[in-house]
């Protein structure tokens, strides 16, 4: 087979069949996928969580990950943030004609690795190839289902005045790592994306038996946007401490250079937990026991008054409003 | 030295705040010229921690904000020319002109690309020899030297598809115009840090000499700005008017001679239109005769139609320091970052955007 994806690979004919079996099924193999029926069938019982997300990251390979790992972790994390135990994933790939076959194999391997870590199975999928120029290299959509354990009720609307806000580690790594490799913007950086499945950390948090009101992963729009969503959904006010928010020195430096605020830069392996003060010690210990939460900290609290507002106490002791992200993050010019 | 976190140190900041409070007894109004300083002041809530005697006024130092509608319309018209790639700094994309914006032109099919430097635009020109690549030259003395360097490089390589729309502005002339207008009474001036890396602190000598106003060149971290305010307060209290540098790690009195030479070789001063201030003599930069082949206005017959000013928008007064965003009837209502009416709400360095984004929270 040539090392390029041809339009015929998406035609439904022999080439398409070979691509599916040799590139996807052989790597992702599991009994449900191997049935090769039109739909995957499986049993579920309990409260089902169901989510979908599309991945169009540019560049598709970046330090610390690639579009495949992201497509698994992103959907796993959306399920985990609803308190669910992730179970099954679908995988749909739209490939631009001429895409490198070995790069595709690399991405599928990475998808496989991520599903193993997350303990999930890919049970159904689809592959399409579009004309050159109709898509940019490769797009992925994944949908996932999971089961929410009994007694777990996690939602953005549940935050209550008095709750503490916990963050699992330093912010901005993913956004800056990706930007450092973007065409026309390359700068040297040792930073890696934090892309990671967080379901294990969530299980550890829930296993403490402490009440947890909200879980959310601050992806696009960053921590600032996530906190605004929580404040709006729960009609509460959130106050955070600038000095408490961990940001790596490399991220701070790059943000200064690019005119960005780390609070708005994307993460792919961090979570925010909101819970009553009484449970903080145990939940913090649980987060820190996960390999992705070693630097977990308390960053603020939920208060009364001004529903939907997020404010931050700065290094100077003054307060400023933290608004949602507007438009795209743009560089500054002087 | 990591150059970021040290300049945000909480204990040092509190020490400086205490020093300002202790030193200041005379009421004083200080203007920060630069939009970057306005952002630092709001991002760190600096106004909240200053004593009542010190009032901060935001100035016209946001290059995108001061660009007149007429010039924005020209930019948008150029983007619509056939076979043109318009390269620009990101801040320009969302700024509304009389009838449209570059973002809208892009959605209508114009090839508008965001770049971080003129050298990126030059690369686009090299890679697309069949296209005309126009770089929107915007900014103060900070950006002009690198854009001059791109023109010299294009000339050296014999590139015949690279153009500059020169909307550059010079900062000392606008400060002079502002002070001559007598509209704002100032007791101190925080001079722009990045501009001064190029011009040197010498560019501001006329303010202290001719107007008797103390000046301090400041960096952009909270400690830089607090340190500068403390130096201004000290000058006010001891009745001195000098130009001092609180940004020694970036600024020398004589500036950057190489950058100044590049800028002067390629550009010559010319009159320029400023939003809210009208035409100010010798406050802009045009390409010199020898480099006219790179001038977009010479190469393209631009017809941008009649300009229109938005009714009720106070950006002009806000840039002159005679109104604050809260004085504007549109602020936060008809004009928000999502649907901006005036440029000061769009640019990351605009006063309205800083007021809106960071608020004036006293919690």
For residues B112 and B117, give the distance between their C-alpha atoms in angstroms, rounded to a whole number: 14
Please indicate if any CB of chain A lies within 8 Å of the CB of B42.
yes
For residues A84 and A229, give the distance between their C-alpha atoms in angstroms, rounded to a whole number: 20
As a three-state string, the secondary structure of chain B is: CCCCHHHHCHHHHHHHHHHHHHHCCCCEEEEEEEHHHHHHHHHCCHHHHCCCCEEEEEEEECCCCCECHHHHHHHHHHHCCCCEEEEECHHHCCCCCCCCCHHHHHHCCCEEEECCCHHHHHHHHHHCCCCEEEEEECCCCCCHHHHHHHHHHHHHHCCCCEEEEECCECHHHHHHHHHHHCCCCCCEEEECHHHHHHHCHHHHHHHHHHHCCCEEECCCCHHHHHHHHHHHHHHHHCCCCCEEECCCCCCCCCCCHHHHHHHHHHEEEEEEEECCCEEEEEEEEEECHHHHHHEHHHHCCCCCCCCCCCCCCCHHHHHHCCCCHHHCCCECCCECCCCCCCHHHCCCCCHHHHHHHHCCCCC
CB contacts, 8 Å: B358 with chain A:
320-321, 323
CB contacts, 8 Å: A313 with chain B:
363
Question: Which runs of consecutive H residues, i.e. helices, occur in chain A?
Answer: 14-18, 26-28, 31-34, 67-80, 101-118, 173-179, 199-207, 222-234, 249-258, 280-289
Answer CATH for A156-321 from 3.90.650.10, 3.40.190.10, 1.10.10.10, 3.40.50.1170: 3.90.650.10
CB contact under 8 A, A333 and B139: yes
| Residues constituting chain B | 363
Distance from CA of B82 to the nearest CA of A (A): 21
For residues B319 and B317, give the distance between their C-alpha atoms in angstroms, rounded to a whole number: 5
> Where are the extended beta strands (E) located within chain A?
47-55, 61-62, 65-66, 85-96, 121-130, 138-148, 164-167, 214-216, 237-241, 272-275, 297-303, 310-313, 319-321
- For B162-179, the pLDDT digits (tens) are 999 999 999 999 999 999
Nearest Cα residue to B9 out of A59, A273, A243: A243
Strand partners, B88: B114
- Nearest chain B residue to A239 by CA distance is B363
Residues of A near B (Cβ–Cβ under 8 Å) read: 184-185, 239, 243, 249, 252-253, 256, 258-259, 261, 311, 313-321, 323, 326-327, 330-334
pLDDT of residue B252: 96
Strand partners, A302: A238
| Residues constituting chain A | 334
Q: Nearest by CB to B44, which of A184, A253, A315?
A: A315
pLDDT of residue B152: 98
Please indicate if any CB of chain A lies within 8 Å of the CB of B7.
no
For residues A269 and A117, give the distance between their C-alpha atoms in angstroms, rounded to a whole number: 13
- Which token pair is B186? 């100032």
Say if pTM beats, i.e. exceeds, 0.95.
no
Nearest Cα residue to B72 out of B283, B302, B270: B302
CB contact under 8 A, B359 and A321: yes
How far, in Å, are A41, A54, A55, B124 from residue A119 at the CA level? 18, 21, 21, 46
Q: Contact A314/B14 with Cβ under 8 angstroms?
A: no
- Which token pair is A242? 């600038």
CB contact under 8 A, B36 and A313: no
Strand partners, B111: B85
Q: Nearest by CB to B5, which of A252, A323, A326?
A: A252
- Identify from B124, B349, B355, B358 which residue to disrupt to test chain A contact, counting A C-beta atoms within 10 A and taking the largest count: B358
- Would you identify the CATH topology of the domain B5-62+180-245? Rossmann fold (3.40.50)
Q: B198 — phi, psi (to 5°)?
A: -90, -55
Distance from CA of A64 to the nearest CA of B (A): 24
CB contact under 8 A, A315 and B9: yes
CB contact under 8 A, B361 and A319: yes
Strand partners, A85: A147
Question: Which runs of consecutive H residues, i.e. helices, occur in A2-66?
Answer: 14-18, 26-28, 31-34
- ipTM computed for the complex: 0.78
Domain ranges of chain A: 7-148, 156-321
CB contact under 8 A, A333 and B42: no
Please indicate if any CB of chain A lies within 8 Å of the CB of B200.
no
CATH 3.40.50.11750 positions along chain B are 5-62+180-245
- Which token pair is A292? 């992705």
CB contact under 8 A, A333 and B143: yes
For residues B268 and B151, give the distance between their C-alpha atoms in angstroms, rounded to a whole number: 14
CB contacts, 8 Å: B107 with chain A:
none
Nearest Cα residue to A315 out of B7, B360, B224, B50: B7
Q: Contact A298/A166 with Cβ under 8 angstroms?
A: yes
CATH 3.40.50.11740 positions along chain B are 69-169+260-299
- Nearest chain B residue to A323 by CA distance is B357
Q: Is A66 helix (H, G, I), strand (E, B) or coil?
A: strand
CATH number for the domain running over A7-148 = 3.30.1330.10
Q: Contact B356/B345 with Cβ under 8 angstroms?
A: yes
CB contact under 8 A, A256 and B143: no
- Nearest chain A residue to B36 by CA distance is A334
For residues A313 and B337, give the distance between their C-alpha atoms in angstroms, rounded to a whole number: 23
- Which token pair is B67? 């660009």
The pLDDT averaged over each successive group of 10 residues in chain A (334 residues) is: 81 85 88 86 94 93 95 97 96 96 96 96 94 94 96 96 98 92 73 95 97 96 96 97 94 85 94 98 98 98 94 92 72 48
Distance from CA of B357 to the nearest CA of A (A): 6
A45 Cβ neighbours under 8 A, 6+ residues apart? A147
The pLDDT averaged over each successive group of 10 residues in chain B (363 residues) is: 79 95 97 94 93 96 93 96 95 90 95 92 97 96 96 97 97 96 94 96 98 97 97 98 96 97 98 94 97 97 89 90 92 88 88 84 40
Strand pairing of B84-88 and B111-114?
parallel
Q: Is A303 helix (H, G, I), strand (E, B) or coil?
A: strand
pLDDT of residue A253: 87
Q: Is A231 helix (H, G, I), strand (E, B) or coil?
A: helix
**Domain covering B69-169+260-299 assigned CATH 3.40.50.620 in the classification:** no
pLDDT of residue B304: 87
Question: Which runs of consecutive H residues, i.e. helices, occur in A45-189?
Answer: 67-80, 101-118, 173-179
Residue with tokens 């008797």: B212
């Amino acid at each position: 087979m040539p090392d390029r994806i041809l339009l015929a690979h998406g035609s439904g004919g022999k080439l398409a069949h070979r691509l599916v079996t040799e590139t996807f099924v052989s790597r992702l193999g599991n009994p449900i996928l191997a049935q090769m029926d039109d739909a995957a069938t499986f049993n579920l019982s309990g409260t089902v969580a169901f989510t979908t997300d599309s991945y169009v990251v540019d560049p598709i390979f970046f330090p610390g990950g690639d579009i495949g790992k992201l497509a698994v972790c992103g959907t796993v994390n959306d399920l985990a943030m609803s308190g669910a135990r992730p179970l099954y994933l679908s995988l749909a790939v739209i490939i631009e004609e001429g895409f490198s076959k070995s790069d595709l194999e690399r991405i599928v391997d990475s998808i496989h690795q991520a599903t193993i870590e997350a303990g999930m199975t890919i049970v159904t999928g689809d592959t399409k190839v579009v004309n050159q120029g109709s898509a940019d290299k490769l797009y992925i959509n994944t949908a996932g289902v999971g089961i929410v354990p009994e007694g777990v009720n996690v939602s953005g609307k549940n935050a209550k005045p008095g709750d503490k806000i916990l963050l699992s580690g330093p912010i901005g790594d993913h956004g800056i790592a990706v930007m450092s490799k973007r065409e026309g913007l390359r700068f040297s950086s040792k930073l890696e994306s934090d892309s990671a499945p967080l379901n294990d950390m969530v299980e550890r948090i829930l296993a403490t038996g402490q009440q947890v009101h909200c879980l959310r992963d601050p992806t696009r729009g960053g921590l600032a946007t996530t906190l605004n969503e929580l404040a709006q959904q729960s009609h509460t006010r959130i106050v955070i401490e600038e000095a408490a928010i961990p940001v790596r020195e490399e991220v701070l430096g790059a943000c200064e250079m690019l005119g960005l605020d780390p609070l708005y830069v994307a993460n792919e392996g961090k979570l925010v937990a909101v819970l009553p003060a009484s449970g903080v010690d145990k939940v913090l210990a649980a987060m820190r026991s996960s390999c992705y939460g070693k630097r977990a900290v308390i960053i603020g609290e939920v208060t009364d008054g001004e529903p939907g507002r997020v404010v931050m106490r700065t290094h100077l002791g003054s307060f400023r409003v933290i608004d949602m992200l507007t438009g795209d993050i743009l560089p500054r010019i002087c | 030295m990591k150059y970021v976190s040290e300049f945000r140190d909480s204990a040092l900041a509190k020490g400086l705040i205490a020093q300002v409070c202790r030193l200041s007894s005379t009421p004083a109004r200080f203007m920060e010229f630069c939009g970057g300083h306005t952002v630092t002041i709001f991002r760190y809530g600096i106004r909240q921690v200053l004593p009542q005697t010190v009032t901060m006024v935001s100035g016209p130092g946001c290059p995108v904000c001061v660009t007149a509608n007429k010039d924005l319309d020209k930019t948008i018209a150029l983007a619509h020319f056939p076979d043109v790639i318009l390269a620009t700094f990101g801040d320009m994309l969302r700024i509304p002109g009389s009838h449209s914006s570059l973002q809208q032109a892009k959605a209508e099919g114009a090839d508008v690309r965001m770049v971080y430097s003129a050298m990126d635009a030059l690369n686009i020109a090299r890679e697309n020899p069949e296209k005309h690549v126009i770089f929107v030259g915007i900014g103060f003395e900070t950006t002009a030297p690198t854009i001059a360097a791109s023109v010299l490089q294009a000339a050296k390589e014999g590139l015949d598809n690279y153009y500059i729309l020169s909307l550059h502005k010079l900062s000392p002339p606008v400060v002079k115009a502002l002070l001559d207008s007598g509209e704002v009474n100032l007791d101190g001036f925080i001079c722009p840090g990045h501009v001064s890396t190029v011009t040197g602190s010498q560019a501001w000598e006329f303010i202290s000499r001719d107007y008797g106003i103390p000046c301090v060149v400041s960096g952009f971290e909270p400690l830089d700005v607090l340190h500068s305010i403390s130096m201004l307060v000290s000058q006010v209290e001891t009745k001195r008017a000098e130009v001092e540098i609180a940004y020694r790690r970036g600024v020398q009195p004589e500036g950057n001679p190489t950058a100044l030479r590049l800028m002067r070789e390629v550009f010559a001063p010319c009159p320029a239109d400023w939003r809210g201030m009208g035409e100010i003599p010798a406050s802009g930069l045009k390409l010199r005769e020898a480099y006219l082949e790179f001038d977009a206005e010479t190469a393209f017959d631009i017809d941008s139609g009649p300009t229109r000013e938005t009714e009720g928008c106070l950006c002009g007064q806000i840039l002159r320091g005679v109104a604050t965003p809260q004085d504007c009837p549109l602020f936060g209502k008809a004009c928000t970052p999502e649907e901006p009416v005036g440029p000061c709400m769009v640019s990351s360095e605009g006063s309205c955007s800083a007021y809106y984004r960071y608020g004036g929270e006293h919690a």
